[in-house]
Chains A and B, each alone.
Chain A
Amino acid sequence: MATTIEQPVKTKAEPELLGLLAEFDDPNALIEASKKVRDAGYRKWDTHTPFPLHGIDEAMGIKWTILPWIVAACGLTGGTIAIGMQYWMNAVNYPFLISGKPLFSIPACIPITFELSVLLAAFGAFFGMLVLNQLPKLYNPLFKSEAFRRATNDRFFISMDAKDAKFSEIDSGEFLHSLNPIGVEEFWSDVESPKLPRNLKLALALVGVLLLMPPALVAYKRSTTTNSPRIHIVPDMDFQPKLKAQNTTNLFPDGREVRPNIKGTIPRGQFKDDNIPFYYGLKYLPEDQDVVVIALQDEKKTDAKKTEEKPPADPKADAAKTPAEKPADPAVDAAAAEASKLEKLPWVTEFPMPVTEKMMARGKERYRIYCSACHGLGGEGDGLVSLRAMDLQQGTWVKPASYHTDNVRKLPVGRLYHTITHGVRKMPAYGAQVPPEDRWAIVLYLRALQKSHEIDATTIPEAEKRKLRDTK
């Protein structure tokens, strides 16, 4: 600034003339006066009216605002964001397939695209207007003028900025008086710049620290671990007053929360009574139907008990023992009793369906998938799992029985089928994994394996003998 060189000693305490203010009581007079100010060539001046005065824009020579372009840009941005958001969220990042409809379609996007376009355009209009008007601006030297308070009520003002190139205190003042205002006054800068209250900074710092505490606490909790259970601020449905399996209750005499099926319940897809030989391996169902299933479960329980009770002092000997050699204890007695119960059941001795080559092939395939891992490909009980378990010498493993003992040879096919279905000793139940047809096919293949071990070579058909002789 040129003035700084000429007046270097000017102290800040001296007030500075910021401009002049002329007051009118008639809007029409203001418009006439404005035309004169405009024509006089002033640039930094303004008029202040309590309401938008029509005709003042031309009188002052105000250029059209660029606000509509800002609003249009914001609206387009909103629409683009909306379409992009819907496409990315519902078709890319989290594909939302509903009734086979396309993941993205324009008609379904219209409402939200419209809403977001309007929302952003409205923000553009409101905030754009404020920014272009340089608002909010809470301090304005004009506000110190008592007369200017009526600028928002019923008076009309012309304000002239001292920074205008044409401005001079005396000439501009005379010029304004010539416009016939009610009055003209000067407005000055403050002698002392207003100071912030002394405690404000302290108070702000205190508030800042207080505001930081919750996020700091959250950050601390997130970065450390704790052994106490989580705090359920909102219990949601974490704790529900309802009965669950494995819990006890006073509600029923047996104390169990889970209820057994009512006698005679047939779960969907479990109707078997029209083909008892096929589904159970029995000629007919015995009166005590539970024995068919429960016998085996009990045997397993005793098996588990045995493991608990017996210290693994002599695991090798224990592992080598077959169930029959086990020392007598109540659990084993019970198991034996169940075994004899099973023996008495009316097992079928013939396959309950025609035996075909296809069935044999299926049985071989299934046997190799499900059984051979323990029982071995030849049924000697030397599968890899069994061998490995024996190597480990844990004392908990019961070696699978070889099929080629008299005991097993004598078992009726129904009993074999039953064993596959419900398991025995360490062998788990395969009823849930292998369908009945396949279980019978496995039994068939098992029988074939047994036969292959005891066959008299002379009874082999001639064609097969030739195959055996063939060295190629």
Chain B
Amino acid sequence: MASVTAKPIDTTIEVPGKRTPLVTGAHDYGTVTDAVCRLAECKTPTAWYVALGISASLMGMLFGLIGYLIITGVGVWGNRSPVFWGWPIVNFVFWVGIGHAGTLISAILFLFRQNWRTGINRAAEAMTIFAVICAGVFPGIHIGRVWLAYWLFPIPNQMAMWPNFRSPLLWDVFAVSTYATVSLLFWYMGMIPDLATLRDRATGKIQQFAYGLFSLGWNGSSRHWHRYERAYLLLAALAAPLVLSVHTIVSFDFAVSQLPGWHTTIFPPYFVAGAVFSGFAMVLTLMIPARTICGIQDLLTDRHLENMTKVIIATGTMVGYAYAMEFFIAWYGGNRYETFAFINRAFGPYAWAYWIMVSCNVISPQLFWIKKIRTTPWMIFVVCVFVNIGMWFERFVITVTSLSRDFLPSSWGYFKPTIVDVLMLIGSFGLFMTLFLLFCKFLPMVAMAEVKSVMPRPGGKSDHH
């Protein structure tokens, strides 16, 4: 059996009639626990402190800039007439898109019984939540008067007014906050048994208290597991359509308006495909270095990486199809403004951004058809970085090109970001990485209980379910 051979096996080769093991190396239940808990229990490597220091400084810079923005006003950004949705909205859509992979992996792959998800789901869900936090920052500060952010919610107020429920922007508030809440519940619930593992292994008083508190007294009772599994399945079933709804509603922010280049019905599926695409790319970008540093290659095998690259090829091709279809409809629809908007995108003043987007999003993922690239971690990493860049540019192209040149040539303009725009984007990566590093250090990075449940049982009985 795979679990008892010490010989490293190539998990990317299909052997007919045999299931490829999801855990390689000579692992049993105990060693899986040891491998996952190692980082939380042993002495923290210096590299972690260095990385945290850099990320936390960038995060500090982000918060400093937010303070500067609040005190000064949104004029510190490059948002000027006619482009009032500049980088803040680009960054919002970018981060929300990234936040789609985690719940997709946890929920949809769970419903499809893709057992390989167990190796990556925890980290991907964590990444989702951190990305949604980064995403939430931008519309929050983009409203200008941050102290009135509660106007976004239907809270009784002194003006005796209610929000307009027919506005996609309000749908967005509900969609993103529901998604953040449900993702958090899903992530936390999945983590309860693993937190209990950390609690039972902890030696320090503080660790025992903290893990003890957050594991809620989990004792592994089978009667508890029964309800827990039902709850997990139900949450997965609820989260699966939720994942699809969130970026659909984000796309409504654009598609429900009448601006040429935004007012298209392809936006919802196109945005969802793009979100999954960028999310998987970000998972791979994070997990390829993380699995080496944390020493969990046995749980997060090359096979896992390869499976994710296949999702990237699929969604990347969908995104490419959407780009082509947008052009076709712009011509076929016969609307001259629409036609102009798309010609302007590809050959206008933002052509450079458009072609960066196309080469990163459409061309680079096609490299994954080559098996060598698909199975070499550093090559996957490079392609995924390009995909991330491309997906940021996609949102930039959609937002800025359409706004900068709409119906009235006299009000055309060219958007230029300020240094604050640039530093805030960098700072949001600092926030993201800080949270991710804290997660790697203090929480179980791999869903131990789930990995154990897909491992072959000792005694040769395989656990089909």
Contact = CB atoms under 8 A, between A and B. Distances in A.
A and B part of one assembly: yes
A26 B458 contact: yes
Interface stretch (B3-11, B26-34, B347-355, B426-434): B26-34
A52 B171 contact: no
B230 A51 contact: no
B182 A52 contact: no
A151 B200 contact: yes
B164 A96 contact: yes
Contacts of A151: 200, 219-220
A116 B249 CA distance: 14
B43 interface: no
A282 interface: no
Given A50-B449, A133-B227, A96 B218 contact: no
Given A118-B238, A133-B227, A236-B145, A111 B217 contact: no
Interface string A111-130: 11011101101110110111
B223 A46 contact: yes
Contacts of B461: 28
Nearest to B170: A112
B219 A121 contact: no
Nearest to B458: A26
B174 interface: yes
User: In which size bucket is the chain B interface?
Assistant: 35 or more
B462 to A, nearest CB: 11
A126 B217 contact: no
A335 B168 CA distance: 65
B164 A90 contact: yes
Contacts of A126: 185, 189, 231, 235
A143 B200 CA distance: 9
B165 A50 contact: no
B145 to A, nearest CB: 7
A289 interface: no
Given A51-B453, A53-B222, A122-B181, A112 B171 contact: yes
Contacts of A54: 453, 463, 465
Interface string B67-82: 0000000000000000
A71 B227 CA distance: 12
A129 B311 CA distance: 33
Contacts of B222: 46-49, 52-53, 56-57, 60, 62
A139 B197 CA distance: 16
Contacts of A256: none
Interface stretch (B154-162, B365-373, B384-392, B404-412): B154-162
A148 B229 CA distance: 22
- Main SS of the interface on chain B? helix
B416 interface: no
Contacts of B199: 152
B438 interface: no
Interface stretch (B127-135, B239-247, B332-340): B239-247
A364 B189 CA distance: 85
A233 to B, nearest CB: 8
Most chain A beta-carbon neighbours within 10 Å: one of B200, B201, B245: B200
Contacts of A140: 217, 219
Interface string B188-200: 0100010011011
Interface residues of A, number: 67
A126 B181 CA distance: 11
B111 to A, nearest CB: 14
Given A46-B223, A122-B182, A89 B162 contact: yes
Contacts of A361: none
Given A89-B154, A112-B174, A118-B238, A135 B216 contact: yes
A23 to B, nearest CB: 12
Contacts of B218: 135, 152
B235 A115 contact: no
A130 B163 CA distance: 34
B238 A122 contact: yes
A453 to B, nearest CB: 59
Interface in A121-171: 121-123, 125-126, 128-130, 132-133, 135-140, 142-143, 148-154, 157
B11 to A, nearest CB: 21
Nearest to B160: A94
B459 interface: yes
A135 B217 contact: yes
A53 B450 CA distance: 10
A234 B450 CA distance: 50
A86 B28 CA distance: 54
A111 B242 contact: no
Contacts of A137: 216-217
A138 B239 contact: no
Given A121-B238, A154-B29, A51 B161 contact: no
B251 to A, nearest CB: 12
A122 B459 CA distance: 38
Contact of B227 (A101, A108, A115, A129): A129
A136 B235 contact: no
Contact of A118 (B171, B230, B241): B241
A93 interface: yes
Select the residue from B145, B175, B226, B461 with max chain A CB neighbours within 10 A.
Answer: B226
A206 interface: no
B33 A52 contact: no
Contacts of A85: 154
Nearest to B189: A126
A143 B165 contact: no
A229 to B, nearest CB: 19
Contacts of B457: 27-28
Nearest to A67: B230
B166 A153 contact: no
Contacts of B213: 138
A143 B219 contact: yes
Most B CB contacts (10 A, CB to CB) among A28, A129, A151 go to A129
B154 A121 contact: no
Interface string B129-147: 0000000000000000101
8 contacts: A46-B222, A71-B238, A96-B166, A115-B242, A125-B238, A151-B219, A152-B200, A153-B30
- Minimum-distance CB pairs A-B, first 3: A136-B216, A154-B29, A129-B231
Given A27-B458, A71-B234, 20 more contacts: A48-B219, A51-B452, A51-B453, A52-B449, A67-B234, A89-B162, A98-B164, A109-B165, A112-B170, A112-B171, A121-B234, A121-B238, A122-B181, A126-B235, A133-B221, A137-B217, A151-B220, A152-B219, A153-B201, A154-B33
